[in-house]
Amino acid sequence: MVGVKNSPRGETILVVDDDRAFRIATRTLLEDEGYAVVLASSGAESLEQLAEKTVDLVLTDLVMEEMTGLALLAQLKERYPDIPVIMVTGFGSIQTAVEAIHLGAADYVTKPHNNEELVLKVGRTLEIKSKDRELQSLRQAVSGTYHFGNIVTRSDRMREVLTQIRQVADTDVTILIQGESGTGKELVARAIHYNSNRRSRPFVATSCSALSESLLESELFGFEKGAFTGAGAQRVGRFEEAHTGTLFLDEIGDVSSGVQKKLLRVLQEKTFERVGGNSSIVVDTRVVAATNRNLELMMRQGEFREDLYYRLNVFPITLPPLRERVEDIPLLVEYFVQKHSDLAGGNVKEIAPPVLSALLNHVWRGNIRELENLVKRAIISTPGDIITAIPLPEDRSVNALRTALPIESTESPAPYKEYLGAVLRDAEEKYLVRILRTHKGNINHIARLMEVDRKTVYRKMAEYGIAPEKYRD
Ligand SMILES: Nc1ncnc2c1ncn2[C@@H]1O[C@H](COP(=O)(O)OP(=O)(O)OP(=O)(O)O)[C@@H](O)[C@H]1O
Ligand SMILES: [Mg+2]
């Protein structure tokens, strides 16, 4: 490594060790890397230094007379929670090092350390910290956007959800948010984070779908250098990035069984290994998971681990689809018109009443996201200040077909098979909802009445996105 003395990186490192030789050697090493270095020979002295100087990182020995490294760590976390601490541990005290991580140390190096490892870890820790800081300012920019006030609703069921969020935000409980696509799952996840005592820590969102099993594994848990072809450098995963904060695992229903197993372990033990790594990493990461799939059904069909399901489902939050809270539509429309008024140069527009009633009758398959997108499009394409039309997408799905086929129409109808299929599906969906309601979601009973097996009932319900538990008392 080329010495870059006298071109400081602007970061100051405090080195704490009662061994003078180590202090001096480390100072030389770090100064050669361009860092400013402050020395302390004891925990007490390091606290004095910290009272006077701005320090970006503390590197402390674990075994010291008077105050041990762990005791110092505890003090530092209490007084300077934002300064990362790297522990230097004696050979063979990995157990204590792990404990140190648990107590909030950012990392550890073993002594006699190799210089390259030390420099690498210092660099990486500082990098994570600066990323944290970036995130923090981003967070401030958006924090106005995500609080309860911005989950707009007047529906009783959503109000219940808001109460649930309030109850649970400030705990470390794992949360499972379920709801159809576009119902506001991510919005709720953010509301939980920004109303928890982790609000000033990172909120890391990651989607579990669209990645292959091995990519997802690396994404979540990180990997060591050389773990696989192309792993040129070590990378921390999302669980580590979200340490002390919240990890939002979106589309949790899409994870493979291999990753399910690993997730179970992190949730149970808070530890994992990076891909290709042997040492266990301990994290304090709160998990909020979401899915638009029916996890309970998946579990019963053996597609989702039962133990993981119960781990995730400690505190379930279910978001109702927009069609079950149409009373929210006018409110949301108004809110989105305000929210996106800058699309029309700040000219806030009004919605003509007939437009609104058309919206009330639309089948919102894409829920609130679909509504928001339509409002946005309408704002852009309306020249005046009253929105007189919101073109609804032609819905050739079951719901559109069921009412449409006026015999007097001169237009050619939908293709025969497609039409019949749609009508049948529509009838089947209605039948299922009705029988669920009348028999209070008792699948055994319903399967008998329908003269099919239970699996078929479950499969059909999944097909239509019907949740049987909703019909149980
Ligand atoms: N109650 C609400 N009040 C205001 N805005 C909302 C509300 N619910 C959802 N939105 C907005 O609707 C859009 C979709 O919400 P979000 O991304 O949270 O949904 P989702 O359930 O995660 O969807 P998907 O399953 O498609 O990922 C976002 O722009 C969000 O801000
Ligand atoms: Mg989402």
At 207-265, the pLDDT tens digits run 998 788 889 999 999 999 988 888 888 899 999 999 999 999 999 999 999 999 999 99
Using a cut of 0.85, tell me whether the model's pTM lies above it: no
3-state secondary structure 373-399: HHHHHHHHHCCCCEECCCCCCCCCCHH
Q: Can you give the pLDDT at residue 394?
A: 60
| Residue 329 within a domain | yes
The answer to whether residues 264 and 378 belong to one domain is no
Which CATH number does the domain housing residue 62 bear?
A: 3.40.50.2300
Give the least confident one: 157-171, 349-363, 368-382.
Answer: 349-363
What's the pLDDT tens digit per position in 304-322? 999 999 999 999 999 999 9
Q: Can you give the pLDDT at residue 229?
A: 85
189 Cα nearest atom in ligand 1:
18
Give the residue, by CA position, lying nearest to ligand 1 atom 25. 181
Boundary residue ending a domain (124, 140, 166) = 124
Which of 308, 333, 329 minimizes the C-alpha distance to 320?
Answer: 329
The answer to whether residues 307 and 340 belong to one domain is no
| Residue 158 within a domain | yes
Q: Can you give the pLDDT at residue 146?
A: 37
470 — pLDDT class (breaks 50, 70, 90): confident
| Residue 400 within a domain | no
The answer to whether residues 314 and 326 belong to one domain is no
| Residue 392 within a domain | no
Provide the mean pLDDT of the chain.
85
**Number of domains composing the chain:** 4
Candidate from 178, 364, 369, 372 with most ligand 1 atoms within 8 A of CB, to mutate: 369
The answer to whether residues 99 and 168 belong to one domain is no
Q: Can you give the pLDDT at residue 135?
A: 64
How many angstroms separate the first and last alpha carbons of the chain?
Answer: 68
Strands 315-318, 203-207: pairing is unpaired
Which of 231, 202, 232 minimizes the C-alpha distance to 218?
Answer: 231
Domain span at 334: 322-387
**Per-residue pLDDT at 290 exceeds 90:** yes
Q: How far is the CA of 187 from the centre of ligand 1 (A)?
A: 6
Cis peptide before 413 (omega within 30 of 0): no
Boundary residue ending a domain (281, 301, 318) = 318
- What average pLDDT does this structure show over 111-130? 86
The answer to whether residues 198 and 223 belong to one domain is yes
Boundary residue ending a domain (318, 352, 368) = 318
Which CATH number does the domain housing residue 296 bear?
A: 3.40.50.300
188 Cα nearest atom in ligand 1:
18
**Per-residue pLDDT at 138 exceeds 50:** yes
Q: How far is the CA of 473 from the centre of ligand 2 (A)?
A: 29
Q: How far is the CA of 159 from the centre of ligand 2 (A)?
A: 20
Candidate from 368, 370, 372, 374 with most ligand 1 atoms within 8 A of CB, to mutate: 368
| Residue 141 within a domain | no
Which CATH number does the domain housing residue 458 bear?
A: 1.10.10
The answer to whether residues 421 and 436 belong to one domain is yes
Give residues whose Cβ lies within 5 Å of ion ligand 2.
186
2 — pLDDT class (breaks 50, 70, 90): very low
Q: Can you give the pLDDT at residue 109?
A: 87
The answer to whether residues 306 and 192 belong to one domain is yes
| Residue 139 within a domain | no
| Residue 93 within a domain | yes
**Does residue 397 or residue 327 have the better pLDDT?**
327
Give the least confident one: 1-5, 229-233, 400-404.
Answer: 1-5
What is the C-alpha to C-alpha distance for residues 455 and 32, in angstroms, rounded to an integer? 67
Q: Can you give the pLDDT at residue 149?
A: 47
15 — pLDDT class (breaks 50, 70, 90): very high
The answer to whether residues 185 and 254 belong to one domain is yes
Give the least confident one: 293-297, 323-327, 357-361, 390-394.
Answer: 390-394
Which of 132, 240, 136 minimizes the C-alpha distance to 194?
Answer: 136
The answer to whether residues 326 and 311 belong to one domain is no
| Residue 298 within a domain | yes
- What average pLDDT does this structure show over 166-184? 94
Q: How far is the CA of 254 from the centre of ligand 2 (A)?
A: 13
Q: How far is the CA of 289 from the centre of ligand 1 (A)?
A: 15
The answer to whether residues 31 and 116 belong to one domain is yes
The answer to whether residues 94 and 38 belong to one domain is yes
What's the pLDDT tens digit per position in 53-82? 889 999 999 888 888 888 999 989 888 878
**Per-residue pLDDT at 39 exceeds 90:** yes
**Does residue 201 or residue 149 have the better pLDDT?**
201
**Does residue 349 or residue 243 have the better pLDDT?**
243
* Residue 16 tokens, joined: 């704490």
Q: Can you give the pLDDT at residue 44?
A: 92
Q: How far is the CA of 371 from the centre of ligand 1 (A)?
A: 10
The answer to whether residues 433 and 376 belong to one domain is no
What is the C-alpha to C-alpha distance for residues 254 and 232, in angstroms, rounded to an integer? 28
Ligand 1 surroundings by CB, under 6 angstroms: 151-153, 179, 181-187, 292, 335, 368-369, 372
3-state secondary structure the chain: CCCCCCCCCCCEEEEECCCHHHHHHHHHHHHHCCCEEEEECCHHHHHHHHHHCCCCEEEEECCCCCCCHHHHHHHHHHHCCCCCEEEEEECCCHHHHHHHHHCCCCEEEEECCCHHHHHHHHHHHHHHHHHHHHHHHHHHHHHCCCCHHHCCCCCHHHHHHHHHHHHHHCCCCCEEEECCCCCCHHHHHHHHHHCCCCCCCCEEEEECCCCCHHHHHHHHHEECCCCCCCCCCCEECHHHHCCCCEEEEECHHHCCHHHHHHHHHHHHHCEEECECCCCEEECCCEEEEEECCCHHHHHHCCCCCHHHHHHHCCEEEECCCHHHCHHHHHHHHHHHHHHCHHHHCCCCCEECHHHHHHHHHCCCCCHHHHHHHHHHHHHHHCCCCEECCCCCCCCCCHHHHHHCCCCCCCCCCCCHHHHHHHHHHHHHHHHHHHHHHHCCCCHHHHHHHHCCCHHHHHHHHHHCCCCHHHHCC
Q: Can you give the pLDDT at residue 8?
A: 46
Asked if 132 and 202 touch (Cβ cutoff 8 Å), the reply is yes
